[in-house]
Structure 1
Amino acid sequence: MNQQLIAFLAYLSPSLFVITALTSWYQAGLRPTAVKKLGMISSFFGILSSLILAYAVYQQDLIEISTFSIYGLGLSLRLDTVSMLMFSMIAILSFVIMRYSLNYLDGDHRQGTFLGRLAATIVSVQFLVLSGNLAVLLASWILTSLCLHRLLVFYKKRPGAIIAAKKKSIVARLADISLLIGFVLLYQIFGTGNLEIIFQNVREGISPLLATATIFIALAALLKSAQFPTHGWLLEVMETPTPVSSLLHAGLLNAGPFLIIRLAFIMEATSTASTLLIILGAFTAIYGSVVYLTQTSIKTALGYSSIAHMGFSLMVCGLGVYPAAMLHLIAHSFYKAHSFLSSGSVIDLIRAAKVTGAKRIGNPFKIILGILLAIAMYSSFAYLWGVDIQNEFQLFVIGGIIVLGLSRLFSFALDSNASIKLWFQALVLSAVVALAFFSLESIFHFFLMGNVPELTIPSLSEVILMSTVLTLFGLVVFIQIFSPILNQKSSFQALAVHIRNGLYINVVFDRIVRAHYHKEDSNSRIVLEEAEIGKYILDSKENNNEEQEERLA
């Protein structure tokens, strides 16, 4: 395929989204017809371009598009399997989210402004995944945060939105500084920002500064993806329109794992950063998943779910199983986009339905039987797929965590007053999950072969660390499985209250960054906010009275 045509297609969708964002300046209010049409056209060509470019990458394996370069830094794009998987995912999600926004904000007096800011954010994410140079990667990394900030403060009069945006801004600047330091060190080591040249040189030799650079890159990824203890802002961004939550959880949060996957050859050169990712990622995954189970608000629960999944993805990156990390990243994006866009419908369905779930019995024998069934099923699939524990211990650990999830499913089905139908459904669902994991991981491994490092035999210290992580996951899951027995204890009930509040980590973080502090006169601000709240309550009462009068009439 012609190189100029490939370059045109690569820049086509981002350019159209830029035009959409600029057009929103002139149609910022109601009925922004041109902005709507341009947004949908941009999304459509994004999908079309991704399909054609994916075919070109299939033919040529690696395509570099360099527009200009000064001292090894400049505007260049890198098209390979990693970037095309991400670009295709973003193209599909942007089409769905843009289409959803047309109806969701129809009638809003600033709909044009919102669509323009949404388009600008999509452009920054597109350039992030297509980056072929450290300069483009850093610039798009910063732009994603700035564009997201404009979306978070879309409703400026909502104090909750302002607080969340302030906290996000602080964490984002720390991530930007960390990535800047890491890239400066990389540039000093290799003398260029071209990713392909850096990857080739890393394979030939390792510099003492490289370990320091990878640590700062890992910190940037951890901060970007709302990892413990800087995760609190993600739980408070619900004041923004739902499409923002969908784009944030399905796209922008993935920047952390994507950064590690994109720079996988650099990260694999040293073990220090990988250890950091394993420890913090695993702890965040356990923390987020435990707190998630105690939440009563559907969007807060989805927030903790994202925190846990990002932690799990970064842990998998630290383990070096990059195909599995990419698999979880893409799966999480589509799942979370659907979850947020359909959250309102789910609430309506739950309110309308009258479901009586199966009750747990608390029989230790049946619980242990469920755990043994899960281990047997996983061992069977691992044997069929030829997983070598000695040479693929990292993959075995990830699979072990999957087993823990299956054991919870089996134990719930067996240790309940449910019918045989539920047992059969649990068996089928567990088989589908295990089959999907092994099959899709193999498929992603095939596609990403040569684009990410292969698995290496871990050292003794790494085996101990991974075994410890697996043990901690197992301990948490076993506590959940035996919860019917533990629920009777008052100490367990008291602990559940603290867990529901996230162990108050977000409160501590608020105090550290002074999230609730404003330079304006606090007294006048409080009076203004109380007046607005009072006016809102009175208006609501009047509307309710009017509705009641109409019904009586």
Structure 2
Amino acid sequence: MSWIAALAPLLPLLAALLPGDARRLVTAASLGAFAAALAVAFGLMLWGGTSGFLVHLDAVSGVMLLLVAFIGLIVTLYSRRYLDGDPGQARFFRGLGFTLAAVLALTISGNLLFFAAAWIATSLCLHRLLVFYPERHGAQLAARKKFITSRLGDAALLAALLLILGRFGTLEFGVIFAATDALRAEGEAGIAVHLAAIFIAIAAILKSAQFPVHGWLPEVMETPTPVSALLHAGIINAGGFLVVRMADLMALSAAALDVLLVIGAITAIFGAAAMLTQTSVKVALAWSTVAQMGFMILQCGLGAFAAAMLHIVAHALYKAHAFLSAGGVVAQRGPGLEQPLPVAMLVPALGASVALVLVVGTLFGMPFAAKPGVAVLGATLMMGLTPMLAAALMARDAARFVALRVAGFALGVCLAYFALQMAAEWLLAAALPPSTAERGAFALVLAALTILAFGALLVLNVLRRSGRPGPALQAFYVHLFNGFYVNAWCNRLVAKHWPVKGGV
């Protein structure tokens, strides 16, 4: 299986290097990479994983390999027509091949050195795609901010690599995971392990556009649309994958998990708030990705590594499709106010949604106290249904039937959510640590505050869209629309020290 898995990154790499029709070569290579990923997935189901110096295959790497190969194939097929006739099409496809090869190598790396090399290569290859139109000032600025942030993330990952090498005497994943299991049994990890985990957390934060280094992501709309979709194939979510891949080590450090928890919660709330104010579909999708990456890091910080992996897969598939179909959404989108919803109806509906998640989670063996990472995302998901539930409660004609129908739908969604979480935990159980370091009440309190913050955001958004907001709320939304000007400050800083010359 290791040799078959190695074909996945090798095929796109060769296609990008060989002379000839880059479009056909990279398309064929993407199809071959997806076939190899499928073969590896079936092999893992039949014979289990394998670990070596070059390739490490388990449920985590198998899921990620299949995800990246699938999205890479779809993006490649989409690009055949999207850039048909563009003079830079061959250059784009070669950049696509190099980037896809680097990400696929990242997913199956058997040691931390190869992982770091693929991590860095992914960023450098993506940079060429971000500046595909070099004459665009916005594209250049966004790419430069991404470049600076990525180099800082690379430095953090290399620092963690050196600490791990000094502590364990190896960089091979299989050996490191066995050693961390022994440390977990002893109950004391040591300062080197804690520092390595913190540096990994910092690398993940910088890679996955967390606050306050998130600003480049909403600005990459100057690149071709397939690049926005490709970002979700193990690139923007590579930070979460790094943490899940190193979960055995991360689970030993409560300090590192707390760093992830705090930054993830801030990013999720901030990104979702800014997303609700955007008028451009693609920019709103980008802000949504910022929020979702915050959720992913938040779940990692709460020790919900299986939930974070499920989040990576679900969000990547949804958001890649959303970007590729954004043009059709723009054509169908029309203005209009939503039906007014009084707060007296909305707040009880919010409470009912959260209560449903808590009850169903307990029945599934995932109570809030034990699985806060699962509950936070579940509560936020169910909050999305509360305007519909509140509207059903307001209906006069056949109100009972409508309310019961909506309540039944909400219950079905909640059951499906927890069933998927259980399936993810079962699938990934052998590849993830059985427990994490003791956290205390801090994690539970922050998780609960995150749920309350999203409830408040929903109420404010409904009030703004369905009624006549006052001047204070309007001013607040103007500031949110501009991301509280954090990105503007970063733009000035980058432009001062690395100015973009010319462009439009």
TM-score of the aligned structures, taking structure 1 as reference length:
0.84
- Change in Cα spacing, 1:8 to 1:389, as seen in structure 2 (3 Å) is closer
Residue 270 in structure 1 maps to residue 253 in structure 2: yes
Superposition deviation, residue 460 in structure 1:
3.1
Instruction: Work out which of the residue numbers 210, 223, 226 in structure 2 matches 1:243.
Output: 226
Q: Which residue matches 1:226?
A: 209
Matches within 5 A, 1:492-503: 492-503=473-484
Superposition deviation, residue 405 in structure 1:
3.6
- 2:212 is paired with a residue of what secondary structure? coil
RCO higher in 1 or 2 (8 Å CA, sep ≥ 6)? 2
Residue 462 in structure 1 maps to residue 443 in structure 2: yes
Structure 2 alignment gaps of length 5 or more: 184-188
CA distance in 1, matches of 2:179, 2:317: 35
- 2:51 is paired with a residue of what secondary structure? strand
Instruction: Work out which of the residue numbers 121, 127, 132 in structure 2 matches 1:143.
Output: 121
Instruction: Work out which of the residue numbers 67, 72, 75 in structure 2 matches 1:89.
Output: 67
Instruction: Work out which of the residue numbers 469, 491, 494 in structure 2 matches 1:488.
Output: 469
CA distance in 1, matches of 2:297, 2:78: 30
Amino acid at match of 1:473: F
Matches within 5 A, 1:319-338: 319-338=302-321
Amino acid at match of 1:42: A
- Change in Cα spacing, 1:416 to 1:261, as seen in structure 2 (3 Å) is farther
% identical equivalent positions: 36
- 2:56 is paired with a residue of what secondary structure? strand
Amino acid at match of 1:518: P
Amino acid at match of 1:325: A
Amino acid at match of 1:200: A
Matches within 5 A, 1:20-99: 20-23=15-18, 26-27=19-20, 32=21, 35-66=22-53, 76-99=54-77
- Change in Cα spacing, 1:519 to 1:331, as seen in structure 2 (3 Å) is closer
Q: Which residue matches 2:323?
A: 340
- Change in Cα spacing, 1:241 to 1:181, as seen in structure 2 (3 Å) is same
TM-score of the aligned structures, taking structure 2 as reference length:
0.92
Greater C-alpha Rg: 1
Q: Which residue matches 1:430?
A: 410
Aligned residues, how many? 497
Deviations for 1:320-345, whole angstroms, at most 9, x for unmatched residues? 11111111110000001101111111
Residue 373 in structure 1 maps to residue 352 in structure 2: yes
Contact 1:190/1:201 (8 A) holds in 2: yes
Q: Which residue matches 2:173?
A: 195
Residue 12 in structure 1 maps to residue 7 in structure 2: yes
Superposition deviation, residue 131 in structure 1:
1.1
CA distance in 2, matches of 1:113, 1:417: 60
- Change in Cα spacing, 1:519 to 1:48, as seen in structure 2 (3 Å) is closer
Instruction: Work out which of the residue numbers 435, 439, 449 in structure 1 matches 2:419.
Output: 439
Deviations for 1:351-373, whole angstroms, at most 9, x for unmatched residues? 6xxx86642142x4322332343
Deviations for 1:292-351, whole angstroms, at most 9, x for unmatched residues? 011001111011000000000000011011111111110000001101111111112226
- 1:277 is paired with a residue of what secondary structure? helix
Structure 1 alignment gaps of length 5 or more: 1-5, 67-75, 534-553
- 2:366 is paired with a residue of what secondary structure? coil
Contact 2:361/2:368 (8 A) holds in 1: no
Superposition deviation, residue 290 in structure 1:
0.7
Superposition deviation, residue 504 in structure 1:
0.8
Superposition deviation, residue 449 in structure 1:
0.8
Contact 1:278/1:316 (8 A) holds in 2: yes
- 1:448 is paired with a residue of what secondary structure? helix
CA distance in 1, matches of 2:199, 2:146: 19
Contact 1:238/1:299 (8 A) holds in 2: yes
Amino acid at match of 2:428: L
CA distance in 2, matches of 1:258, 1:486: 42
Contact 2:30/2:72 (8 A) holds in 1: yes
Residue 281 in structure 1 maps to residue 264 in structure 2: yes
Superposition deviation, residue 377 in structure 1:
3.2
Contact 2:38/2:66 (8 A) holds in 1: yes
Superposition deviation, residue 482 in structure 1:
4.9
Superposition deviation, residue 109 in structure 1:
1.1
CA RMSD after TM alignment = 2.5
Superposition deviation, residue 519 in structure 1:
7.6
Superposition deviation, residue 53 in structure 1:
1.2
Superposition deviation, residue 210 in structure 1:
1.2
Q: Which residue matches 2:430?
A: 450
CA distance in 2, matches of 1:313, 1:508: 26
- 1:237 is paired with a residue of what secondary structure? helix
